[in-house]
Amino acid sequence: MSFFLISSIVKIVAVFTAIMVGVALLTLAERRICAWMQDRLGPNRVGPQGLLQPAADGLKNLIKEETLPAQADKVLFMLAPAMSFIPALLTFAVIPFAAPLPTPWGDVDMVVANLPVGFLYILAFGSLGVYGIVLAGWSSNNKYSLLGGLRASAQMISYEIALGMSTVAVLLVVGNVTLTDVVAKQSASLFTWNVFPLSLACFIFIVAAFAETNRLPFDLPEAEGELIAGYHTEYSAMKFSMFYIAEYSNIVTASALMTTLFFGGWDIPFTTWDNAPPWSVLKTLLTLGSFTLKTLFFLFLFIWVRWTLPRFRYDQLMALGWKVMLPLALTYLTVIATAIWLLHDQLGWTYDTRFALALFGLNLLLAVPLFFVLDRGHIIAGSVAAEGAGGGGGGA
> What percent of the chain clears pLDDT 70, i.e. is strictly above it?
91
Looking at residue 279, what is its pLDDT? 80
pLDDT of 44 > 80? The answer is yes
Instruction: Please state the rounded mean pLDDT for residues 135-155.
Output: 80
Looking at residue 259, what is its pLDDT? 92
3-state secondary structure the chain: CHHHHHHHHHHHHHHHHHHHHHHHHHHHHHHHHHHHHCCCCCCCCCCHHHCCHHHHHHHHHHHCCCCCCCCCCHHHHHHHHHHHHHHHHHHHHHCCCEEEEEECCEEEEECCCCCCCHHHHHHHHHCCHHHHHHHHHHHCCCHHHHHHHHHHHHHHHHHHHHHHHHHHHHHHHHCCCCHHHHHHHCCCCHHHCCCCCCHHHHHHHHHHHHHHCCCCCCCHHHCHHHHCCHHHCCCCHHHHHHHHHHHHHHHHHHHHHHHHHHCCCCCCCCCCHHHCCCCCHHHHHHHHHHHHHHHHHHHHHHHHHHCCCCCCCHHHHHHHHHHHHHHHHHHHHHHHHHHHHHHHHHCCCCCCHHHHHHHHHHHHHHHHHHHHHHCCCCCCCCCCCCCCCCCCCCCC
What is the C-alpha to C-alpha distance for residues 363 and 368, in angstroms, rounded to an integer? 9
Say which residue, 188 or 90, is predicted with more confidence: 90
Q: Where residue 338 falls among pLDDT bands split at 50, 70, 90?
A: very high
What is the C-alpha to C-alpha distance for residues 314 and 81, in angstroms, rounded to an integer? 25
> What percent of the chain clears pLDDT 90, i.e. is strictly above it?
9
pLDDT of 381 > 60? The answer is no
Instruction: Please state the rounded mean pLDDT for residues 296-315.
Output: 86
Say which residue, 256 or 189, is predicted with more confidence: 256
Q: Where residue 393 falls among pLDDT bands split at 50, 70, 90?
A: very low
7-21, 83-97, 136-150, 278-292: segment of lowest average pLDDT: 136-150
pLDDT of 218 > 60? The answer is yes
pLDDT tens per residue across span 170-183: 888 888 778 888 88
Looking at residue 108, what is its pLDDT? 82
The answer, yes or no, to whether the previous bond of 217 is cis (omega within 30 of 0) is: yes
Q: Where residue 373 falls among pLDDT bands split at 50, 70, 90?
A: low
Instruction: Please state the rounded mean pLDDT for residues 105-115.
Output: 83
Instruction: Please state the rounded mean pLDDT for residues 350-375.
Output: 82
Say which residue, 374 or 244, is predicted with more confidence: 244
pLDDT of 217 > 90? The answer is no
What is the C-alpha to C-alpha distance for residues 11 and 94, in angstroms, rounded to an integer? 12
Q: Which of 160-178 are b and which e, b meaning 16 or more Cβ less than 10 Å from the residue's Cβ? A: bbbbbbbbebbebbbebbb
Looking at residue 86, what is its pLDDT? 85
pLDDT of 380 > 80? The answer is no
CA angle 333, 337, 338 (to 5 degrees): 120
pLDDT tens per residue across span 342-352: 988 888 888 88
pLDDT of 383 > 70? The answer is no
Looking at residue 222, what is its pLDDT? 62
pLDDT of 388 > 70? The answer is no
CA angle 299, 301, 303 (to 5 degrees): 75
Single pTM value for the model? 0.86
What is the C-alpha to C-alpha distance for residues 196 and 362, in angstroms, rounded to an integer? 10
Looking at residue 394, what is its pLDDT? 45
pLDDT of 151 > 60? The answer is yes
Say which residue, 327 or 380, is predicted with more confidence: 327
Looking at residue 295, what is its pLDDT? 92
Q: Where residue 205 falls among pLDDT bands split at 50, 70, 90?
A: very high
Say which residue, 122 or 229, is predicted with more confidence: 122
Instruction: Please state the rounded mean pLDDT for residues 305-332.
Output: 85
Looking at residue 297, what is its pLDDT? 93
Instruction: Please state the rounded mean pLDDT for residues 228-233.
Output: 69
Instruction: Please state the rounded mean pLDDT for residues 251-259.
Output: 91
Looking at residue 298, what is its pLDDT? 93
pLDDT of 354 > 80? The answer is yes
Instruction: Please state the rounded mean pLDDT for residues 331-340.
Output: 91
Q: Where residue 293 falls among pLDDT bands split at 50, 70, 90?
A: very high
Instruction: Please state the rounded mean pLDDT for residues 148-154.
Output: 80
Domain coordinates in residue numbering, the chain: 67-269+277-374
pLDDT tens per residue across span 62-98: 888 877 777 777 888 888 888 888 888 888 888 888 8
